[in-house]
Amino acid sequence: MTDIQVRLSACFANVFPDLKPDEIPQASQESLAAWDSVAHITLLSAIAEEFQCEMDEEFLETLTSYKRIVEYVEAGSAKS
């Protein structure tokens, strides 16, 4: 796991405490009933705080899985 993945996994674990660590990489809005609109905003806020960045509003609706969020952060799309 990269540093980004470790940090993102911690954000997911905080927002979704019932999610097992090995389930986090497969997590998505489709697979988690708990990932509703409130959890989505909470998760993205936690990520923005962890990485001390702003999430680009045009991408917020597309960040619907762990994989997509990893790709977004690794690509540097989050603004410092």
Residue 24 pLDDT = 98
Query: How many domains does one find in the chain?
Result: 1
Distance CA 14, CA 10 (A): 6
70 token code pair: 């990893």
pTM of the model: 0.91
Q: Is the residue at 80 inside a domain?
A: no
Residue 80 pLDDT = 54
Contact 37, 21 (CB under 8 A): no
Its domain, for residue 41, covers 3-74
Q: Is the residue at 11 inside a domain?
A: yes
What does the pLDDT profile of the chain (80 residues) look like in tens digits? Answer: 899 999 999 999 999 999 999 999 999 999 999 999 999 999 999 999 999 988 888 889 999 999 999 999 998 866 55
Q: What are phi and psi of 54, to 5 degrees?
A: -105, 140
